[in-house]
Structure 1
Amino acid sequence: MSLTDDFYHHMNDRCLRLRISEVPSNTIGEQAYCIIGARESYLKALKISQWDGFECSLLESNNKTLIISKLEETHTNLERFLQDISIDETNSHLLFDLLEHEVQHHGQLIRYAYANKIEFPASWNTRYTV
């Protein structure tokens, strides 16, 4: 989650509206909507030990300040929850699903960055050698 947070901190507001040209693509801001919604939805699922559908509280996918706030909020909420529980088999599957989802978005964000000539934050250069 820290890598995702770093990516959105690093870019400027204009980048949120960028797409990958000449292929079906949403925007970088809409990628944040999906990431934030997954964090919120998986936290809800972890609390009740089962998937209960996707919901996202992010209302503006072109507002960097709001995106950063929601990324930090969801990161903190998940960390706090995980400190207070023991992880059973169901929750371990949900956590792996959340991890897989976020990492898949990292791959997508790498493609967005290359396609739009966006520089990566240092943490991404270290983790992914981009």
Structure 2
Amino acid sequence: MDLLKQRVLQAMSLTDDFYNHINDACLTLRISNVPSNTIGEQAYCMIGARESYLKSLKMGHWAGFDCSLMDSNDKTLINSKLEETHTNIERFLRETSLDQMNSSLLFDLLEHEVQHHGQLIRYAYANKISFPKSWNIRYTV
């Protein structure tokens, strides 16, 4: 289970790096000619998932989706929420032994975060956004 915890934290660090790396204007970008939300709305989904999965991990069962991010175009707020949710999950994982239900929820969170990485790679390529060094190392983009 330590490996699972490590991989969740690694995935969250990569997300944090991406949003720290891009400029404010990138938050409103979409992928042209396909159904697409914005890069900022991608952050909304990840922040909400982090908050929702943490709540669920504490309760021991899925407790529904909720997100405290009020503005998906505010880079400072997004980075603050990413840092806050990362810290809160890291603290929980450090202080908690995982049972089978929590392990399943944690795998779901990992899958969700990494799935968004794939989407963000497509957004970056479509909009000619460079990647942070951590993404070049992890994903060879």
Same fold (TM over 0.5): yes
Aligned match of 1:123: 134
The answer to whether the aligner puts 1:13 opposite 2:24 as a matched pair is yes
| RMSD over equivalenced CA pairs, Å | 0.2
Q: Deviations over 1:44-69 (max 9, x none)?
A: 00000000100000000000000000
User: What residue ranges of structure 2 are gaps of 5+ in the alignment?
Assistant: 1-11
Q: 1:84 aligns with which of 80, 95, 98?
A: 95
Q: Distance in 2 between matches of 1:84 and 1:45?
A: 16
Residue 66 of structure 1: aligned partner? 77
Deviation of 1:126 (Å): 0.1
- CA displacement, residues 22-75 of structure 1 (integer Å, 9 cap, x when unaligned): 000000000000000000000000000000100000000000000000000000
Aligned-partner residue type, residue 126 of structure 1: I
Give the counterpart of 2:125 among 114, 118, 122.
114
Q: Which residue of structure 2 lines up, in the alignment, with residue 100 of structure 1?
A: 111
Question: Residue 107 of structure 2 aligns to a residue in which SS?
Answer: helix
User: In the comparison of the two structures, how many residue pairs are matched?
Assistant: 130
Deviation at 1:128, TM superposition (A): 0.1
Q: CA deviation at 1:120?
A: 0.2
CA distance in 2, matches of 1:86, 1:121: 33
State how far apart, in whole Å, the 1-side matches of 2:58 and 2:43 are: 23
**Corresponding residue for residue 51 of structure 1:** 62
Partners of 2:46 and 2:95 in 1: CA distance: 23
List, as ranges, runs of 4+ consecutive aligned residues in structure 1 with deviation greater than 3 Å: none
Q: TM-score, normalised by structure 2?
A: 0.92
Q: Matches of 2:96 and 2:24 in 1, distance apart?
A: 37
Matched with 2:44 is 33
Residue type matched to 1:117 in 2? Answer: K
Superposition deviation, residue 87 in structure 1: 0.4
